[in-house]
């Protein structure tokens, strides 16, 4: 679906670009503020308590499992001031997932073995709306209008801003995907754990990153960028602290399928490895919050360009 959408977008842009090809060498009128709309496709990944590489978990991309990447897509609308600074509204749609199964090849490490035997996994849809500032140093620190040189067609840039995203961690049980947040897998909201509150499935984040922009023509540009999201939660994967006593679920009002699902999905330690999962044993690490990031290829159209 994502690939088909992006293919149709590129086809439409190619027709639009051809209609202006005869003017490519001519001058265009541009105002100080130029508006732009575009769409893109890419991959999305995450850094959580699940999966990772051999040894202690690492920050940023050092602990990434590239094979867990999922397709993402999005669209945006923005405005650029004199090619120097831009502001854009963006919507991004994707998925993230993680699993301890990826550590099966590095079981020589005690840490990796412990995480592998934990047997946890999750997946979640991501919907994000963000307001981003785009900064182009080549146009800020050099006055191309008073130079004999033509402005560059390629411009690296930095970006950052604020986002609002939704997520919903799930795990597979008996062939069905089960929402994990309502199951309170780490006792969130139980009177026995007053310091563990249920996490919200809609939260703010802080996206920041970098990219390269290439002006294909006076009206079309292509961007390649990576955006990292700093989160204020450690529960993107529903894992953060310690195992709880399974008897607490019934004491806190769980019953029926909800009770059975909570007990089974709270503790998914592999058979014969129960030593790792007693009440109070480490299930995750609350030291670092989770994060997710995306690598994107975007195509944009300048909306305020006309020929002399």
**Using CA atoms, how far apart are residues 101 and 106, in angstroms rounded to an integer?**
10
Give the per-residue pLDDT at 52. Answer: 67
Residue 10, domain extent: 2-178+195-235+288-307
Q: Is residue 140 part of a domain?
A: yes
Give bridge partners of residue 162 from the DSSP assignment. 131
Q: What's the pLDDT score for residue 87?
A: 97
Q: What is the pTM of this model?
A: 0.84
Q: Determine the pLDDT at residue 13.
A: 41
pLDDT at 88: 97
Let me know if residue 170 belongs to a domain.
Answer: yes
Q: What is the rounded CA–CA span in Å between residue 183 and residue 256?
A: 12
CATH of the domain at 67: 2.40.160.20
SS3 222: strand
Identify the pLDDT of residue 274.
Answer: 62
Q: Is residue 258 part of a domain?
A: no
Total domains in the chain come to: 1
282 belongs to a structural domain: no
Q: How confident is the model at residue 82, as a pLDDT?
A: 87
What is the structure's pLDDT at 67?
Answer: 86
Token pair, residue 7, equals: 């293919």
| Residue 188 domain flag | no
Give the separation between CA 151 and CA 155, rounded to whole angstroms: 9
170, β-bridge pairs: 123, 179
**Residue 187 in domain:** no
The reported pLDDT for the residue numbered 177 is 96
To the nearest 10°, the Cα dihedral for 138, 139, 140, 145? 130
Q: Residue 241: inside a domain, yes or no?
A: no
Low-confidence ranges of the chain (pLDDT < 70): 1-30, 52-63, 144-148, 272-276, 304-308
DSSP 74-118: EEEEEEEETTTEEEEEEEEEEEEEEEGGGGGG-TTSHHHHHHHHH
Tell me the C-alpha distance between 157 and 294, whole Å.
16
Which of 101-133 are b and which e, b meaning 16 or more Cβ less than 10 Å from the residue's Cβ?
ebbeebeeeeebbbbbbbbbbbbbebebebebb
Tokens of 85: 């600074």
Tens-place pLDDT, residues 212-228: 999 998 899 999 999 99
What per-residue confidence (pLDDT) applies to 308? 52
Q: Does the residue 134 lie in any domain?
A: yes
Chain position carrying tokens 């008073």 = 146
């Amino acid at each position: 679906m994502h690939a088909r959408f992006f293919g149709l977008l590129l086809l439409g842009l190619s027709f639009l670009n051809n209609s202006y090809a005869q003017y490519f060498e001519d001058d265009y009128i541009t105002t100080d503020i130029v508006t732009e709309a575009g769409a893109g496709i890419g991959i999305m990944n995450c850094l959580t308590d699940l999966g990772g590489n051999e040894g202690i978990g690492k920050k940023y991309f050092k602990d990434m499992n590239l094979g867990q990447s999922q397709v993402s897509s999005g669209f945006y609308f923005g405005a650029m001031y004199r090619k120097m600074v831009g502001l854009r509204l963006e919507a991004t749609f994707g998925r993230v997932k993680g699993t301890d199964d990826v550590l099966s090849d590095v079981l020589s490490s005690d840490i990796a073995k412990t995480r592998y035997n934990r047997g946890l996994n999750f997946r979640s849809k991501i919907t994000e709306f963000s307001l981003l500032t785009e900064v182009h140093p080549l146009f800020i620190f050099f006055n191309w209008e008073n130079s004999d040189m033509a402005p560059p067609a390629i411009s690296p840039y930095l970006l950052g801003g604020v986002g609002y995203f939704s997520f919903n961690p799930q795990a597979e049980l008996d062939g069905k995907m089960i929402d994990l947040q309502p199951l309170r897998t780490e006792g969130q909201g139980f009177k026995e754990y007053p310091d563990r509150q249920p996490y919200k499935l809609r939260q703010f984040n802080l996206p920041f990153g970098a990219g390269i922009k290439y002006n294909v023509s006076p009206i079309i540009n292509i961007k390649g960028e990576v955006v990292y999201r700093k989160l204020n939660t450690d529960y993107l994967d529903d894992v953060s602290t310690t195992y709880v006593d399974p008897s607490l679920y019934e004491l806190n009002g769980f019953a029926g399928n909800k009770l059975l699902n909570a007990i089974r999905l709270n503790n998914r330690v592999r058979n014969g490895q129960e030593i790792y999962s007693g009440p109070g044993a480490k299930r995750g690490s609350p030291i670092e919050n989770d994060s997710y990031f995306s690598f994107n290829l975007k195509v944009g159209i300048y909306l305020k360009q006309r020929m002399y």
